[in-house]
Amino acid sequence: MRYLLLLFLLLASGSARAQQIALLKYRGGGDWYANPTSLSNLIRFCNAAIGTALEPEAATVSVESPDIFQYPFLHMTGHGNVLLSPEEAENLRTYLLGGGFLHIDDNYGMAPYLEKELPKIFPDKEMQELGSDHPIFKGPFAFPQGLPKIHEHDGKRPQAFGYFHQGRLVLLFTFETDLGDGWEDPEVHNDPEAVRRKALQMGANIVNYAFKN
């Protein structure tokens, strides 16, 4: 209950001061630290394009820490293994049910591990695929076809999955898109500017949804 109150006060006071988003550090050997320039670029884009007032650099917070309740938006990425203990899963569940938001962007290779670990967070819920009519694709930037394709891996279509609580999307898993790669500095992947802009715009939609819903 103390954590829920802390998160409520944080969200309620968000308009009065700059907020900070955080990168989620997890166990299992996966490279949670992948895409080191992505969040700072996304923050800069959001502040300029959609009027957010985010701190210029993201924090880093461990999944088991009570400090996750300081951040209304958590981002998680990587290529490999993810492990969640029962205590870590409970910490995330309390955070998400209390109003927090987690975006997991598969940087290629996370999906098989997340399929086993995410049900620990919500054993009573089923992950659902988001249709292109979900509000997260409608604004501030329109994506009428749904999640954009940023990087090619296995030739599969990009998909967005999520867990919902009382009608609100609380955990978003983006698959076969690699948004985070598109947020990186231009020279990292040499993506065309139009591709990077699509990635940043979709990221801004995610941030916008998390802060306004």
| CATH code of the domain containing 205 | 3.40.50.12140
Residues near 134 by Cβ (< 8 Å), separated by ≥ 6? 146, 160, 169
pLDDT of amino acid 14: 42
pLDDT of amino acid 77: 96
pLDDT of amino acid 202: 98
Distance CA 160, CA 150 (A): 13
Domain that holds residue 154: 2-212
Distance CA 113, CA 97 (A): 23
| Residue 25 C-beta-side C-alpha neighbours within 13 Å | 11
pLDDT of amino acid 28: 92
Number of domains in the chain: 1
C-alpha separations of 179 from 74, 124, 149 in Å: 15, 29, 8
Q: What is the mean pLDDT of the segment spanning 199-203?
A: 98
Cβ–Cβ < 8 Å for 19, 53:
yes
Indicate the pTM of the whole model: 0.91
pLDDT of amino acid 175: 95
pLDDT digits (tens, 9 = 90+) for 62-121: 999 999 999 999 999 998 899 999 999 999 999 999 999 999 999 888 999 999 999 999
**What's 157's DSSP letter?**
P
Tokens representing residue 31 in the block: 């490279």
pLDDT digits (tens, 9 = 90+) for 132-181: 999 999 999 999 999 999 987 777 899 999 999 999 999 999 999 999 99
pLDDT of amino acid 80: 87
Q: How do 159-165 and 168-175 pair as beta strands? A: antiparallel
Cβ–Cβ < 8 Å for 98, 68:
no
Q: How do 101-106 and 168-175 pair as beta strands? A: parallel
pLDDT digits (tens, 9 = 90+) for 24-79: 999 998 899 989 999 999 999 999 999 999 999 999 999 999 999 999 999 999 98
